[in-house]
Structure 1
Amino acid sequence: MGAIFPVIWHGDRVHLIDQTRLPAAYELKEIRTSAEMATAIRTMIVRGAPAIGVAAAFGMVLGAQEYSGSDRASFLAHLEAVATDLRQTRPTAVNLFWAIDRMLSAAQAETATIEALKDHLLATAQAIASEDVATCQAIGQHGLAALPSTPEKLRLLTHCNAGALATAGYGTALGVVRSAWRANRLERVYADETRPRLQGAKLTAWECVQEGIPVTLLADTMAAHCMQRGMIDAVVVGADRIALNGDTANKIGTYSVALAAQAHDIPFFVAAPLSTIDTKIHTGAEIPIEERHPQEIYQVGFTRIAPAGVDFYNPAFDVTPAHLITGIITELGVFAPADLARGIGAA
């Protein structure tokens, strides 16, 4: 299939890879309005923090296209309303809010006409997308350099999907895997299935198969066992939001993997762009954790797997404390959690 790009601007609309259909079917979802984009983000047709940010930026462009007037103040008010709708889709992924804020800042540009301002917004969204691909490629190279020097060929574990599907292309955690594979330093990647939505089984495994990367799928409960048996050399995961102290929110189950990695003296890396660092919060305790519908737990496909009358708790993310993280891999290099401020200052 070649390179994977989950969010593409096409003419006057957006094409999304429908990630709810993978791996059974590869389908493109056509998005024509900002409301449709909000629905696509909320229902996880597009998911992964960087990809959500790119999608939201293009959602702002679609919202701009929906305005037919010529009054600048009314246009900006309309954009603010679109931004509010998009912000309410997924509360944990900070890239969503970062991209929307950047688009609103772009809307303040001095232009002669509303049409010129719409063109400027489209150019800004396209820049966000292209910058994200370059960022992921840089993360891949910095991550490759940070991986253990021995053995010569590594066995890496990842959790959830932080690949091309979760970004504008190439991936963050899976970008590190891709770089290791292309540098002939990867023996195999182990992918946690990532219950309850199975992003590892459905998406990470699919991406690896497309590129011919050797991949072994694990049930989430198997990671510690594999570490105990000496099957894992390093762990690389993505992030949806990182606090200033390095505490990191990622898909539910990441914290458990980090604890197991510490117990077995295995390096645990987080791969994420600097835009994933939320400079407004100081610790992971301040990160909002999205809770999703309990159906994701009690049902697989169309089959119910739990009896009626059971209560459910379905947080979509957990927070890995900074002290469990070996390094945070960004587009500017790898930082110890305590040194994140230095990375932000260099950006």
Structure 2
Amino acid sequence: MRTIDWVSGHIRLIDQTALPGTVAYLDVHTVEELVDAIRRLAVRGAPALGVAGAMGVALAAANLPADRAREVIATLRAARPTAVNLALGVDTALAAFDRGGAAAALEAALTVRDDDIAACRAMARRGTALLDQLLPHRSRLTVLTICNTGALASVEHGTALGVIEKLHADGRLHRAVACETRPLLQGARLTAWELRQMGAPYDVIVDSAAAITILRGGIDAVLVGADRIAANGDTANKIGTLGLALAAARASVPFLVVAPETTVDLETAGGEAIEIEDRGSAEVCAFHGIRTTPDDATARNPAFDVTPADLITAIVTDQRVIDLSANEIPAEGPRPAQHAG
């Protein structure tokens, strides 16, 4: 299953708003359509957004005059501010477009796609190997995760859920526990759907049950994704992640961030500099179009929170393991080459 791909001159992606009831595909022919899909979360997840950004540039380059293409590309780049991968995907393909035109932009976008597939496989290997080191006496693991970090959030396999998928394939997964992930239930709708697809044993819990589940010894490790990792290791991820980290620290449970190297943003020194997207009141005050609060109620709706580096055991990327518990930080050590193209 590919969440997003380039098909016959346009973008095809799974409409995640239709899941779990319907597997529906969107054929995207314009950048305006892609921006709409991103903003309403038909496509979401940091790695998938990076691929979408790169392919959006290829789409604009192939169908619009250069000046107009750059206008709509700027709109695409700003569609969601917290995840660094969207901007990186746009910038990678745009640089190729500047050098070699539409054909070069498409080549770069396809490289971003292929690099993401390879990165997810590498993260799964590194993540499971690290769990072996951290939990050597546990032959089968119960792991907790939040939001959706599987194939739906990337192209194939996923980040944190990709590690869980490999645990299951290796016969080492006792059970996955998926936080429902309010307000849009990406865990209950999407992660549970992916776990069912892979045949993995799982439970869904309400977000507010996660802390007591961790503190009472029901979880061996917490695995989460990331939308932006600062140079000091502070990590932005789906709202609710910080609470999991606090509970895991209290219970001495490993808390692992699994994300591609492209999510590490050395230009952002620390978590206080990460812009947090607020998605407005509608998602909190209503569900599936049905009002769940008084008519005059408003809501605060931050889509992300920031987990300080000192609450994170390690960051697992496709290139390395950053042991934050040993005071390593992302800004240290070798950095991989940027996407080709």
Pick the TM interval, shorter chain: over 0.9
Partner of 1:331: 318
1:87 aligns with 2:77: yes
State which of 81, 87, 100 in structure 2 corresponds to 1:97. Answer: 87
Q: Does 1:296 align with 2:283?
A: yes
* Counterpart in the other structure of 2:245: 258
CA contact (8 A) 2:117 2:156 kept: yes
2:108 is the alignment partner of 1:124:
yes
In structure 2, what is the equivalent of residue 34 of structure 1? 31
**Is the deviation greater in 238-247 or in 96-105?**
96-105
Aligned-residue offset at 1:12 = 1.2
SS at match of 1:155: strand
2: CA distance, partners of 1:344 / 1:252: 30
Match of 1:227 in 2: 214
Corresponding letter in the other structure for 1:84: A
CA distance in 2, matches of 1:39, 1:177: 31
CA distance in 2 between partners of 1:213 and 1:275 (Å) = 29
**Matched residue type, 1:161:** N
Residue-pair matches, total: 331
SS class of match (2:98): coil
- Partner of residue 114, structure 1: none
SS at match of 2:55: helix
Cross-structure match for 1:22: 19
Contact 1:164 1:175 in 2 (8 A): yes
Q: Secondary structure of the equivalent of 1:187?
A: strand
Deviation at 1:325, TM superposition (A): 0.2
- Contact kept, 8 Å, 2:150 with 2:160, in 1: the verdict is yes
Query: Post-superposition, which runs of at least 4 consecutive aligned residues in structure 1 deviate over 3 A?
Result: none
Percentage of identical aligned residues: 44
Following superposition, the deviation at residue 168 of structure 1 comes to: 1.4
User: 138-147 or 298-307: which moved more?
Assistant: 298-307
What's the offset of the Cα at 1:303? 2.3
Secondary structure of the residue aligned to 2:222 is strand
CA contact 1:172–1:271 (8 Å) conserved in 2: yes
Q: For residue 335 of structure 2, what is the aligned residue in structure 1?
A: 345
- Secondary structure (helix, strand or coil) at the match of 1:270 reads strand
Structure 2 unmatched ranges of 5 or more: none
**Counterpart amino acid of residue 55 in structure 1:** A
Q: Secondary structure at the match of 2:52?
A: helix
Counterpart in 2 of 1:161?
148
What is the distance in 2 between the residues matched to 1:50 and 1:277?
Answer: 12
Which of 261, 270, 279 is equivalent to 1:274?
Answer: 261
Q: Distance in 1 between matches of 2:305 and 2:251?
A: 21
Equivalent of 1:52 in 25, 49, 52: 49
For residues 69 and 256 of structure 2, the distance between their equivalents in structure 1, rounded to whole angstroms, comes to 37
Q: Which residue of 2 aligns with 1:198?
A: 185
Corresponding residue SS for 2:332: helix
Q: How far apart are 1:135 and its partner, in Å?
A: 0.2
**Which blocks of at least 5 consecutive residues in structure 1 are unaligned?**
69-74, 111-116
Per the alignment, in what secondary structure is the counterpart of residue 207 of structure 1? Answer: helix
When residues 282 and 259 of structure 1 are mapped into structure 2, their CA distance, relative to the original with a 3 A threshold, is: same
C-alpha contact (below 8 Å) 2:276/2:303 kept by paired residues: yes
The offset of 1:119, in angstroms, is 1.6
1:72 alignment counterpart: none
- Secondary structure in 2 aligned to 1:130? helix
C-alpha separation in 2, matches of 1:201 and 1:220: 10
User: How far apart, in 2, do the equivalents of 1:232 and 1:344 lie?
Assistant: 33
Matched, 1:142 2:129: no
* Pairwise CA distance, 1:344: 4.9
Q: Which amino acid aligns with 1:302?
A: G
TM-score, structure 1 length as denominator?
0.93
Q: CA deviation at 1:230?
A: 1.4
**SS of residue in 2 equivalent to 1:156:** strand
SS in 2 for 1:8: strand
Q: How much has 1:182 moved relative to structure 2?
A: 1.3
Aligned partner of 1:283 among 253, 262, 270: 270
- Once the two structures are TM-superposed, the CA of residue 229 in structure 1 deviates from its matched residue by 2.5
In structure 1, how many angstroms separate the alpha carbons of the residues matched to 2:95 and 2:289?
Answer: 44
Contact 2:97/2:105 (<8 A) preserved? yes
